[in-house]
Amino acid sequence: MKTLKGPALFLAQFAGDAAPFNGLPAIAAWAKECGFDGVQIPSWDARLFDLARAAESDTYCDEVKGVLAENGLVLTELSTHLQGQLVAAHPAYDVALDGFAPPSVHNNPVARQQWAVRQLHLAAQATRRLGLTAHATFSGALAWPYLYPFPQRPPGLIDEAFTELAGRWRPILDAFDEAGADLCYELHPSEDLHDGVTFEMFLDRVGNHPRCNILYDPSHFVLQVMDYLGFIDVYHQRIRMFHAKDAEYVPSARQGVYGGYQAWIDRTGRFRSLGDGQVDFGSVFSKLAQYDFDGWAVLEWECCLKHPEVGAREGAEFIRQHIIPVTDRAFDDFASGGTDHAANRRMLGLPVGDAT
């Protein structure tokens, strides 16, 4: 059995223009002071990381790891959530998604998608140079506007969307395979890969690619009213990353899982700071230990109520308390009789000797 690592912090929700959140050395020192042992870096945030340099330069990668090491931290993974979203984007979201890309490709969906694909290939190279074995991303979405089947979807629409999605991602998956790293899709509403069924649809179309894996985040399953513990039982062989994020869903007579177009604070389903929601993290950590998950428990902070810096400090301790140092022996070993083959046969009432 294996013990998972942690706590680590995803820096995306904390990076900003004010100190200590505006540069890697300062935010690393702050993260360590909060109690974290690792950080997951958003590759799109130039205040913290230069993806192009990391893809080309071992020296730069050593500098990044050195900055973290000086603060008692390690780099757990890189993330391309925003770039991954742009690998496949329905035209309905063109205006909103332009903000994820540089101005040079705004108002040009073809150029923007090509830029995103190049970013993922750079991320594969950077992941290899940094010595990492997993990478976090989103799948993007072509079919999301047709999630609810009314008006009726024409036959073949979803199949066409997933075939196209797989075709766009297969070369990227191959690039991560060459880099020796798993590409882990965060299953997330607004992405075509948002639950187990959609992941299976995609996995089938990429030929069960060995690098096609899952970033497990139970909060998204709470908000979809899914069995987030049973999900681990079903998909544990593909779970290679873990975001520890909390959520709550309180049924209402006025509003359902779609949220009624309300702000987060007014929704029946809301993200909460770690420990303040409904996720049974004792069972989550137990199941991950049961299935020998040895990756990192990475706090992704999102909450409509609590201040992020408070959530970070509390979350580090929360994860630390939930990590299970796995046992190296069975609890009833003291009662072992040290039996052998002959003894086993005698216990079964079978002849001992040359009988087979």
For tokens 């797989």, name the residue. 166
Q: Residue 88's pLDDT is what?
A: 98
Q: What is the pLDDT of residue 343?
A: 86
Least confident residue range of 92-101, 189-198, 327-336: 327-336
Q: Mention every residue, 6+ apart, whose C-beta is less than 8 A from residue 70.
A: 25, 28
355 pLDDT more than 70: no
| Strand ranges for 265-349 from DSSP E | 269-272, 296-299
207 has pLDDT over 90: yes
Beta carbons of 240 and 184 less than 8 angstroms apart? yes
CB 169 within 8 A of CB 138: no
Q: What is the mean pLDDT of residues 63-91?
A: 98
Whether the per-residue pLDDT at 270 is higher than 70: the answer is yes
**Residues ≥6 apart with Cβ < 8 Å to 12:** 42, 45, 79, 81, 300
Please tell me the predicted confidence (pLDDT) of residue 354. 62
d(CA 51, CA 64): 11
For the segment 250-269, what is each residue's pLDDT rounded down to a tens digit?
999 999 999 999 999 999 99
Distance CA 246, CA 243 (A): 9
The radius of gyration computed from the CA coordinates of the chain, to the nearest angstrom, equals: 23
- Band (pLDDT 50/70/90 cuts) for residue 353 is confident
pLDDT at 334: 67
CATH 3.20.20.150 fits 5-330, yes or no: yes
